């Protein structure tokens, strides 16, 4: 196997060219990618309501159980302000597709004036949800929906003793929805902004309800509802017409960019009868010839790294592209040496890992941009089962992919016609998905930060119907 030594020599300084990537080592992009994997996918965790807030309630008209999940109206209501109303201890979490909770009516009492809904923090705790501004409520005595003015509108059936009623927020459609005994009653547009608290109310003698914030199975099939809502969004996307030649070009450029030679050849054969021959147009100085540069070498190196054979990969790099590893403290060298350390830990060769770390990883200790990842690598030694620890992400296949992507990009940077480092770091498809992610985040910001973030892995899993395995973007 040979490589274009003239091109490699000509671009010997391209790796660290400030005109290509500012004053930063281009390989540092992949350091940032590796750092992102230290957090769970999505990176967004929110506390959920778990019980009723005995402080934020009209305590004089109701009794709350010891577990703070049941309420009973013990008074005799004389007027509209004698409501036993209580909020959850926390607002509904927002960074998701749907939030939902339920109540079980133990006793409808004298009049069945039970309500379930959502209110904001400033809601007056002497009124039914839906009777005041910034509140919505589904009421059991008349089946009406109330949303602020106090005047109800026909919505659904009444509910009484032994009924289970639920209330939810669909953040994608920006709607409140309500259920009864496991069936969807209806939905209404959510024109309230800000944090919203699950709220329940009782308003006649002996009314008693139990609240379920998810500790027990819901009567309503929430997973199926979420699946259907997600499929609605997918169907909207599927209706968008995309010429086959466009998707073909994106996939082919992705395979070329990442050095998947065998898959590329199979893809070309499979597409030969349906897609006319095409040439990938240049974008930012990068055309098909540029991303096809050193395809065989990039394929070989990717395979070695994916197999955990880091010593062999380093040997080939020193033979074919010595300029990539000549700067010992570069981001690419760090990724390769840290991966070698990780592979030793994976194999259980801990003494050898310690020795290797003292020689190679020690060079990067306390260097800006590397220190936290060095500490994560070394921390693997402290655990009997490193796969299950907080730094276990380093032992996942995705970590090998990051290193392989970094080496692949650095080889592309040595190409004879490269004018822009960005075109070497990411394929057209990867850049398109990054733009899609930004658009989704912008759309979410317009909804007050509500709704789930776009995650490629989750989208692929839904679309394929099975667990999708893909590299990072």
H helix or E strand, kind and range, residue 72? strand 70-73
267 close to 255: Cβ distance less than 8 angstroms = yes
What distance in Å separates the CA atoms of residue 114 and residue 141, rounded to the nearest whole number?
7
pLDDT digits (tens, 9 = 90+) for 110-122: 999 999 999 999 9
State residue 178's pLDDT score.
Answer: 98
pLDDT reported for residue 461: 53
pLDDT at site 447: 78
Q: What is the pLDDT of residue 77?
A: 66
Q: What pLDDT is stored for residue 275 in this prediction?
A: 64
Q: Which two tokens stand for residue 466?
A: 């099975």
The per-residue pLDDT for 349 is: 96
The yes-or-no verdict on residue 466 having pLDDT over 60 is no
Quick: pLDDT tens for 229-274.
988 888 887 888 878 788 888 898 899 999 999 999 898 888 876 7
In three-state secondary structure terms, 85 is strand
Place of tokens 């996918």: 41
**What's the rounded Cα separation, in Å, for the pair 69 and 352?**
56
Per-residue confidence (pLDDT) for residue 22, from 0 to 100: 45
pLDDT for 149: 76
101: closest CA among 146, 51, 65? Answer: 51
Q: Per residue in 293-320, pLDDT tens?
A: 889 999 999 999 999 999 999 999 999 9
Q: What is the largest CA-CA distance in the chain?
A: 93
pLDDT in tens, 8-65: 443 444 444 433 444 457 788 999 888 877 655 444 678 999 999 988 777 667 899 9
Full strand arrangement of the beta sheet holding 98-107? 62-64, 70-73, 208-212, 98-107, 164-170, 175-180, 183-189
| Dist. CA 93–CA 47, nearest whole Å | 7
State how far the Cα of 165 lies from the Cα of 129, in Å rounded to an integer: 15
CA angle at residue 160 from 85 to 169, to 5 degrees?
A: 55
Instruction: Give pLDDT tens digits for 324-382.
Output: 999 999 999 999 999 999 999 999 999 999 999 999 999 998 888 898 999 999 999 99
Residues 380-402, mean pLDDT to the nearest whole number: 93
Tens-digit pLDDT profile for residues 96-154:
999 999 999 999 999 999 999 999 999 988 889 999 989 999 999 999 999 987 679 99
Bigger pLDDT: 182 or 237? 182
Which pLDDT belongs to residue 57? 77
User: How confident is the model over 199-234, as pLDDT tens digits?
Assistant: 999 999 999 999 999 999 999 999 999 999 988 888
- Whole-angstrom distance, CA of residue 342 vs CA of residue 336: 10
* Of the candidates 398, 258, 422, 412, the residue with the CA atom closest to the CA atom of residue 335: 398
Indicate the helix (H) or strand (E) that contains 322.
helix 322-325
Contact (CB, 8 A) for 390 and 263: no
The bridge status of strand 135-139 relative to strand 115-119 is antiparallel
Predicted local confidence at residue 170, as pLDDT? 96
The token pair at 186 is: 């209806």
Domains and CATH numbers, the chain: 7-41+244-426 (no CATH), 52-212 (2.60.120.920)
């Amino acid at each position: 196997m040979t490589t274009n030594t003239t091109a490699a020599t000509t671009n010997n300084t391209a790796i660290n060219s400030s005109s290509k990537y500012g004053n930063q080592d281009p390989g540092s992009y992949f350091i940032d990618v590796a750092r992102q994997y230290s957090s769970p996918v999505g990176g967004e965790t929110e506390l959920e309501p778990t019980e009723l807030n005995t402080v934020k309630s009209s305590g004089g008209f109701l009794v709350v159980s010891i577990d703070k999940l049941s309420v009973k109206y013990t008074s005799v209501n004389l007027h509209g302000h004698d409501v036993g109303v209580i909020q959850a201890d926390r607002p509904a979490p927002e960074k998701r597709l749907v939030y939902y909770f339920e109540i079980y009516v133990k006793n409808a009492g004298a009049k069945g004036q039970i309500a379930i809904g959502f209110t904001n923090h400033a809601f007056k705790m002497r009124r039914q949800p839906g009777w005041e501004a910034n509140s919505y409520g589904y009421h059991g005595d008349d089946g009406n929906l109330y949303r602020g003015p106090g005047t109800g509108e026909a919505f659904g059936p009444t509910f009484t003793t032994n009924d289970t009623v639920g209330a939810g927020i669909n953040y994608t459609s920006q709607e409140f929805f309500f259920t009864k005994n496991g069936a969807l009653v209806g939905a209404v547009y959510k024109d309230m902004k800000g944090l919203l608290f699950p709220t329940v109310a009782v308003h006649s003698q002996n009314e008693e309800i139990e609240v379920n914030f998810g500790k027990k199975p819901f009567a309503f099939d929430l997973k199926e509802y979420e699946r259907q809502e997600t499929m609605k969004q997918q169907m909207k996307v599927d209706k968008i017409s995309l010429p086959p030649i466009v998707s073909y070009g994106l996939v082919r450029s992705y395979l070329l960019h990442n050095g998947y030679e065998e898959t590329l050849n199979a893809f070309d054969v499979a597409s030969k009868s349906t897609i006319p021959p095409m040439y990938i147009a240049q974008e930012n100085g990068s055309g098909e010839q540029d991303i096809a540069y050193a395809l065989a070498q990039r394929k070989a190196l990717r395979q070695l790294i994916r197999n955990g054979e880091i010593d062999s990969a380093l040997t080939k790099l020193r033979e074919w592209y010595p300029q990539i590893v000549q700067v010992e403290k570069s981001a690419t060298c760090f990724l390769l040496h840290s991966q070698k350390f990780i592979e030793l830990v994976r194999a259980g060769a801990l003494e050898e890992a310690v020795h290797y770390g003292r020689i190679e990883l020690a060079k990067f200790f306390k260097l800006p941009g590397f220190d936290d990842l060095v500490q994560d690598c070394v921390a693997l030694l402290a655990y009997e089962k490193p796969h299950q620890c907080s730094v276990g992400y380093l032992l996942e296949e995705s970590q090998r992919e990051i290193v392989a992507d970094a080496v692949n990009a650095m080889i592309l940077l040595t190409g004879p016609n490269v004018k822009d480092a960005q075109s070497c770091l990411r394929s057209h498809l990867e850049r398109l998905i990054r733009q899609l992610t930004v658009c989704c985040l912008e759309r979410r910001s317009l909804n007050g930060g509500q709704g789930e973030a776009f995650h490629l892995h989750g989208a692929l899993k839904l679309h394929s119907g099975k667990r999708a395995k893909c590299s990072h973007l």
